[in-house]
Structure 1
Amino acid sequence: MPPDGPARVFERHRAIECRDLIEPDLLASLLDHCRRGSFVADHVDRLGSREVEAPQRVGVALNIVLSRPPFLHWVEVVTGCQDLHRVEGRLVQTRANGLDALDWHNDTHDDAAGARRLGITVNLSDAAYEGGGFELRKTATQEMLTRYCHDRAGSALIFDIAGDLEHRVLPLMSGGPRRVFTGWFVQALLRFRSDHRPDLQEGAACAVLLIMRVERRDRRKTLHRDRRGERQQVLSSRGVAGQCGQPARSEEMRRQ
């Protein structure tokens, strides 16, 4: 997409939607891992509650994918934020439980290094839901700049987190869960030329390989556990006494 049009939209609304940001094959894999992933409760002091992926697998994969230099350069042109170095974020989800939501806040309040320049959310939900809208406004005047609801998996919202702005996530009313990757475009603390950024041109492939590597590790653990259980069953059926793994003794050996 040429940057001129999105740049005007971002200037007016301080946010820009990126439809179908994630490639279809990678998106299908990420959605599958979201469904099978595990989440733990995460309470944000004075703001609200949600759940985060633990361990972060989808989150790590998208950190790689979204840090590809061509995409970072496009974001720089559209938003006017220079020297974007990478994306840092994680997968979170909210449920229609009357608790999960985030109140008005600014993402720079806990950014001690001052490296965060923009926020991003990527929709990874595969279940319909009501509510869960994102709102962005000016802090001083409370002028609403953007109201946005994720309605398509793989699409993203990039938004400004400057000091004069604040945003919130409304609670789910029904359905869900609402799953999104949420993170920040981080500026290098030292000035890097674009050719000094990490070589992440093959970010999507790296992300898939990373997921596959974690899956292989988990499968090996499961296979080892299953084989050990089968071995114990075989030994038990042969009347083996003592510790698991001891060789079976024949009747003739026992008589000796």
Structure 2
Amino acid sequence: MTRLEFRDVGIDLGPARIVSGVSLRVEPGEVVGLVGPNGSGKSTLLRSAYRVLRPVTGVALIDGESVWALSAREAARRRAIVTQHTVLDAVFSVHEVVAMGRTPRKGLLDRETEHDHEVVGKALDAVHMKWAADRSFATLSGGEQQRVLIARALAQEAGLLILDEPTNHLDVRAQFEVLDLLRHLGLTTLTALHDLDHAVSYCDRVAVMAGGELVAAGVPAEVLTPALVHDVFGVRAVLDTHPITGRPRIAVASAGSWPAPDNAV
């Protein structure tokens, strides 16, 4: 299993400090949700872990090694990424998209082997998309496309999965399908999320960012208190138990919503 660590990470974009002094560990097999308002630095922090933005202070580490000390190929063997915006040529089939995940494991001119084919098939099986292997990627729904992109990440056979808003633009059923999948993959996972209830329901721990800094981290139901949610997000919140799943849930409303329940801030 793979461990991810941010150690005192600071990141600048131009003259502005976007992320400052963030230290966070994602332990092997954990699902950690990164939450915070727009502009809080979530995506910027993630980009430091997949070699897009180099920290100006501190370091992002995979199993104790700086991601910037690894070659691009070696980094891609250790961690897989699902970003918010993926543009693919309409001619690619689902199988071809997932097979792209094998690139870090192959030479420049290597053809697809039987082993590669098996890995792609298993990845599609894991996301329940094997039926669409020969379909054009462009013909799939948003939720189906997201599952295929996760399958591509799985085909890398990396121990660490990093996702930036994986439920963005998906309908409610597709959101649950993706989150259920991430919960059961067994991989070390760091995912940025907008929906606080998703973070409470599906993550082992949450890390809360505001103004480019990490302001809290820990068990979701202990960290996402009504007071913290009000301070960071500017909304009212109530924590209780979901009547269907029995898991913790969080309900939020505008700070101007009245009347407020006794256990809301």
TM-score (norm 1): 0.24
TM-score (norm 2): 0.23
